[in-house]
Amino acid sequence: LPEEFIKAQPIIDTIDAAGYEAYFVGGSVRDTLLGLPIHDVDIATSAYPQEVKQLFKRTVDTGIEHGTVMILDHGTGYETTTFRTESGYQDYRRPDSVTFVRSLQEDLKRRDFTINALALRSNGTIVDYFHGLDDLQAKRIRAVGNADERFNEDALRMMRAVRFASQLDFDIDSDTIQGITHHGPLLEKIAVERIHVEFVKMLQGNWPAKGLQIFLDTGLYQYCPDFKDRLSALQSLATTLTASAGDETAVWTLICTEFGLQGRQIDQFLKHWKSANHLIDAVRTAVAMVTAIQNDSLDDWTLYQTGETLIPIANQAATTMGLATRDTAQLVAQYQGLAIKSKKELAVTGQSLMTAGIKPGPILGKLLNELEYRVATGNLPNDAAQLTKTALELASS
Ligand code: ATP
Ligand code: MG
């Protein structure tokens, strides 16, 4: 067992000793069996939330109405969820009610895919009611039970299927594929923020083309914001992507470049995807740099505007698309060589220019922008006397 599980064994044992059952469940069990590193250890138990809370000194109610209590142990938090079944799903996204049950099998039955429905006992043995081990072996994603019903209950599972395909290099079982093909339109019932998370994880996987191709072949893409008319661009991306797309900014930079979006179009598109403003700003900037590379017009000013954090991301995106002509280290070195990295580093300020006799107002802002441009591009030394002189000349012309 990996050390994360060993460390958590006393928790399971405490619950056991009190007469309840407890198991490791979810992604950490799957990933351990695949020999992959794990992040969070999740625990499922027959004990009700109040019963769990009585057994441990330090707990946090992270989702108590769904049965989840976080147990804090030596600085690590363990999400511990009471066995439950779900029923209702009137709106294709969340169950109308959850019911706590005492049976592990019932709990595993409501999980999405067989590889995610395995439980691990504290002694290292596996509980496998749905042939999850066979599917792991066969590298197959298969819905627990009837795929149509499962996607009808919760349409997000279709996005989860394609993202696991990308992360694990797995195929999707044919009934499950059919389920996705039939139920794609239900994706429109799901909050875009949640689709966003799965879509990004898909392109960040180590086999992004795998999930993306299924996402296209099943028609799932049509039910995502602004994707419907962009099959050929998405298909071209599926052909190009041979490794993880990188961070979230890189993912959307690739998409926007592939779609040929610029400036405000990027804002609109990413707003439809409910992206945070800081992400939108970063993508707009990174796409501008990729476009400059594409047009063979990458210069000091572009690097200055892109900034140190986004230069590697933009160049990575350009590399993925086969556009980059220089390596990232070179570009970062060129950036490091710029006379200033931001307007704040200019040797003059609005205040100092006003003291020198320039009137406040919109002209002042324009002068500062011009000085910034000239200094950043190496056309003027960053020297207070010279900048003030230039500003006065420009102001009087
Ligand atoms: P990751 O490595 O990305 O965390 P994971 O499998 O742990 O993968 P989570 O979203 O953390 O995914 O969910 C934990 C477990 O909860 C899953 O393994 C699965 O058993 C169950 N689960 C999560 N989302 C759903 C869903 N929409 N429908 C059914 N079961 C789900
Ligand atoms: Mg998880």
Q: Which atom of ligand 1 is nearest to the CA of 40?
A: 4
Look at residue 93 in the predicted model and tell me its pLDDT: 63
pLDDT for 137-193, tens place per residue? Answer: 999 999 999 999 999 999 999 999 999 999 999 999 999 999 999 999 999 999 999
Look at residue 161 in the predicted model and tell me its pLDDT: 98
Answer whether 248 contacts ligand 1 (Cβ < 6 A).
no
Spans of all domains in the chain: 1-138, 145-229, 246-338, 343-396
Which among 28, 86, 111, 156 is the best mutation to test ligand 1's pocket, defined by most ligand atoms within 8 Å of the CB?
111
Which among 116, 163, 164, 187 is the best mutation to test ligand 1's pocket, defined by most ligand atoms within 8 Å of the CB?
116
The answer to whether residues 171 and 165 touch, using CB atoms and an 8 Å cutoff, is yes
Residue identifier of the C-alpha nearest atom 24 of ligand 1: 112
pLDDT for 273-296, tens place per residue? Answer: 999 999 999 999 999 999 999 999
Calpha distance 148→136 (Å, rounded): 21
Fold match between domain 246-338 and domain 343-396 = no
Q: Which amino acid is at 203?
A: L
Residue ranges of the binding site: 27, 30, 40, 42, 111, 154, 157, 160, 163
C-alpha 213 to ligand 1 mean position (Å): 22
Q: What are phi and psi of 99, to 5 degrees?
A: -120, 125
Q: Could you count the other beta carbons within 10 Å of the beta carbon of residue 198? A: 21
Q: What is the DSSP string of 308-341?
A: HHHHHHHHHHHHHTT---S-HHHHHHHHHTSS-S
pLDDT band at 297 (very low <50, low <70, confident <90, very high): very high
C-alpha 37 to ligand 1 mean position (Å): 16
Instruction: Give this complex's ipTM.
Output: 0.99
pLDDT for 66-117, tens place per residue? Answer: 999 999 999 999 999 999 998 766 566 666 678 999 999 999 999 999 999 9
Q: Which atom of ligand 1 is nearest to the CA of 108?
A: 20
184, 169, 174, 273: which is closest to 221 by C-alpha?
184
Calpha distance 151→304 (Å, rounded): 48
Calpha distance 369→196 (Å, rounded): 37
352: three-class secondary structure by DSSP: helix
Radius of gyration of the chain, Cα coordinates, nearest whole angstrom: 27
Look at residue 94 in the predicted model and tell me its pLDDT: 63
> Could you say which architecture CATH assigns to the domain 343-396?
Orthogonal Bundle (1.10)
The answer to whether residues 203 and 254 touch, using CB atoms and an 8 Å cutoff, is yes
92: three-class secondary structure by DSSP: coil
Q: Which residues contact 63 (CB under 8 A, 6 or more apart)?
A: 81
Look at residue 87 in the predicted model and tell me its pLDDT: 74
C-alpha 275 to ligand 1 mean position (Å): 23
> What CATH code would you report for 246-338?
1.20.58
Calpha distance 204→22 (Å, rounded): 32
Q: Domain 145-229 is in which class?
A: mainly alpha
Q: What does DSSP say about strands 126-127 and 119-120: parallel, antiparallel, or unpaired?
A: antiparallel
Residue ranges of the binding site for ATP: 27, 30, 111, 154, 157, 160, 163
Provide long-range contacts, Cβ within 8 A and 24+ apart, for 100-108: 100/48, 100/67, 102/46, 103/46, 104/21, 104/23, 104/44, 104/46, 105/129, 107/25, 107/44, 107/83, 108/25, 108/144
Name the superfamily (CATH) of residues 1-138. Beta Polymerase, domain 2 (3.30.460.10)
Answer whether 116 contacts ligand 1 (Cβ < 6 A).
yes
Look at residue 388 in the predicted model and tell me its pLDDT: 97
Which among 79, 112, 136, 186 is the best mutation to test ligand 1's pocket, defined by most ligand atoms within 8 Å of the CB?
112
pLDDT for 26-70, tens place per residue? Answer: 999 999 999 999 989 999 999 999 999 999 999 999 999 999 999
| Percent of the chain surpassing pLDDT 90 | 95
H-helix segments, the chain: 3-17, 27-33, 49-55, 104-109, 132-137, 147-153, 156-168, 174-183, 192-204, 208-217, 231-240, 248-259, 263-272, 277-294, 300-320, 328-336, 350-355, 362-376, 384-396
